[in-house]
Chain A
Amino acid sequence: MVATEVFTSFIQYVVLGLMLGGVYALAAMGLALLFGVANLINFAHGEYIMLAMYMTYVVSLGLLQDPVLSPIVTVPVFFIIGVLTYLGVFKRLVTAPPLSQIAATVGILVLLRNLALTIWAAEPKAPPYTVFATSVSLGPLTIPLDKLLATVVSIAALLVLYFFLERSRLGVAMRAAADDVEAISLMGVDTGRLFLTTTGISMAMVGLSGSLIMTFQAVTPTSGLLFGLLTWAIVALAGLGTVRGILVSAIIFGVVDSLASGLWDPRGREIVLYGLFILILWVRPKGLFGRR
């Protein structure tokens, strides 16, 4: 009786965690792409996710009513934001040493965070009622439909990205750049344009994932730090290799996140997540972190 309830709760959290992980994977993928292909350390990645979440809130409040439709706006807008960021800042950073990249993107971090603080103040914002706010029952488990939909969309986006990287010319060029930038520029690839597109795609994914994450959590100006550390942690665990690696890593973090919040204390989840991050950094072999 009690044991099965506890067990059911546990499975419930795990399932939620799996879904959360699916969505985190998309968020982390943008970072991995930028880091892997353009060799760019974006310390403000979490803040962009936060911005996407706020945009989802604003858009669903004002224009589109249902947050489910918000990617229609956030994805293209964030692609443009990516292009602008590249032209404004990243372009010059690509050749700069890592510490400079970190410092400059910390500057972006500060800008975005305080922008959010100014516009929306410190209270958490969550999107309004969505048409999918029902749940599906799977035996003893309750699966919220909106979260399920978000996970499906996320996985679909990752699949699209996977095939893009494998099959399309641009995708192959991006993978080649991840291995050896000099070689591909010698082969005539315009690395500037490649990085520009990479940043655009990376940000578009951020835009989408921001909308999706909103089905799981509300947003505050400090969310940026949380998602920043989380996505970097996912990248650290996955190494830079593959979409699948990021997905697996993200799912692990999603499950840990869900279990920590559910079984312990929602305020404790960050301790567990960041603690796990640091442990991974210590224990993983050095080879995965070295700059190429």
Chain B
Amino acid sequence: MEKNRIFTAIAGAAAAVFPLILGLNEYYVFLVTLIMLYTTIVVAWQLIGGLGGQLDLGAGAYHGLGAIVTGYLMVYHGISGWVGLFAGGLAAAGVAFVIGYPSFRFGLREVWYALSSLALVLILQKIFLLWTDVAGPLERYIPYAAFDPIFMRSGYKTFYYYITLALLAATLALVYRVRKNKLGLYLQSIRDNEEAAEMLGVDVRKYKLIALLVYSFIAAMTGGIYTSMVGFYHPTLFDSWISIQTVTLSIAGGLGSLWGPPITSLILLTVQEYLRITLGAVIIGLHQVIFGIILIFIILFRPEGLGPLLDTLSVRLGLGSKASKEM
């Protein structure tokens, strides 16, 4: 649709110059980049959770693994962060395979899949806490460089802003395409009724794995970017909060929709940061309490999330059509 393209173009242009709008303020650019990183995870999660219907709580594990692997390679082997991103992605996909293959083979679903993926976050955290050669209880610092694009390290947060923007855009494009092709359709059929899908020739385990591997790869890349940006890594990067946050934002955004989750993420994550800055020092943890309330509220009163609301809004604006699927 013509209007869709115009809208996307405007959004893209705004995103491209956003750092300038922020006056290149290091702190603000940092916050926005962070928000975009987490939003990228949310978008990637749509593959396994939104389309595939698996309640994966492993985002913290993959994000953390990407951070540790990328950071470790940069610190101890002087390997460029670009390679590190890729290596982190592979490591995460590898771990995802090791835990995903048996999980799907043994038919783990719903609460059991959710629990085992959450357990993965904590297991990895403790493993790297004990693995002092690679991580251990002390933070490991990446050598500072004002601007070393080959090493993928810079003191200027704007550098990371654009890397993240590229990743986010690529992930959005990926999910957009997948929703309409065979993979997306197969995943949705698995979500809606696994047995019926099997009977139509869908190799359920294989497609769940594909979704899991791609999502874990991307989540790991966000971790690698994060660690290069903040200049250190530590096992606390295996954070169950990232997992919970990802799922909350996806549900709030509406599981079926394309734009719902990312837009909701951008908004709510900004709200979260604002609360953390204003109240967080006084009342620790309040900014996260909001998420808890939102989650309960949505499930009890608006289980479809904001997705349908955003769709109706886009119809009013003359963009896209009613069924969110058509976007």
Contacts and interface: CB of A to CB of B under 8 A. Distances in A.
A213 B93 CA distance: 38
Interface stretch (B36-44, B159-167, B170-178, B287-295): B287-295
Interface string A239-262: 000000000000000000000000
Interface in B281-327: 283-286, 288-289, 291-300, 303
A112 to B, nearest CB: 8
A268 B131 CA distance: 11
Of the four ranges (under 10, 10 to 19, 20 to 34, 35 or more), the interface on chain A belongs to 35 or more
Contacts of B248: 103, 106-107, 110
Contacts of A121: 284
Given A102-B114, A103-B247, A281-B116, A274 B122 contact: yes
Interface in B105-152: 106-108, 110-112, 114-116, 118-120, 122-123, 126-127, 129-130
A89 B53 CA distance: 23
Contacts of A131: none
Given A110-B289, A265-B130, A271-B123, A277 B116 contact: yes
A102 B55 contact: yes
Interface string A279-292: 00111001001010
B122 A115 contact: no
A8 interface: no
B284 A281 contact: no
Nearest to A89: B296
B292 A107 contact: yes
A18 interface: no
Interface residues of B, number: 45
A224 to B, nearest CB: 10
A108 B296 contact: yes
Interface in A26-56: 41, 43
Interface in A76-101: 89, 92-93, 96, 98-100
Given A100-B303, A104-B295, A274-B123, A111 B112 contact: no
A236 interface: yes
Given A108-B296, A229-B122, A117 B244 contact: no
Contacts, number: 131
Given A109-B292, A225-B122, A229-B122, A278 B116 contact: yes
A277 B111 contact: no
Contacts of A108: 292, 296
A108 B120 CA distance: 21
B99 interface: yes
Contact of B119 (A110, A117, A274): A274
Nearest to B116: A278
Given A109-B244, A274-B122, A277-B116, A267 B110 contact: no
B296 A104 contact: yes
**B contact patch SS:** helix
Contacts of A114: 284-286, 288-289, 292
B296 A268 contact: no
B103 interface: yes
A232 interface: yes
Given A267-B129, A270-B123, A281 B106 contact: yes
A233 to B, nearest CB: 8
B122 A103 contact: no
A268 B130 contact: yes
Contacts of A124: none
Q: B108, B115, B130, B289: which has the most chain A beta carbons within 10 Å?
A: B115
Nearest to A274: B119
A110 B284 CA distance: 13
B111 A41 contact: yes
Contact of A110 (B108, B244, B283): B244
B293 A117 contact: no
A267 B284 contact: no
A43 B300 CA distance: 16
17 contacts: A43-B114, A106-B248, A109-B244, A111-B293, A114-B286, A114-B289, A114-B292, A121-B284, A225-B240, A229-B115, A229-B122, A236-B112, A267-B130, A271-B123, A274-B119, A281-B108, A282-B103
Interface of A: 41, 43, 89, 92-93, 96, 98-100, 102-104, 106-111, 113-115, 117-118, 121, 221, 225-226, 229, 232, 236, 265, 267-268, 270-271, 274-275, 277-278, 281-283, 286, 289, 291
Given A104-B295, A268-B130, 6 more contacts: A89-B300, A100-B303, A110-B248, A111-B289, A275-B123, A277-B119
7 residue pairs, one from A and one from B, having the closest CB atoms: A107-B295, A110-B292, A114-B285, A107-B296, A111-B292, A117-B285, A104-B299
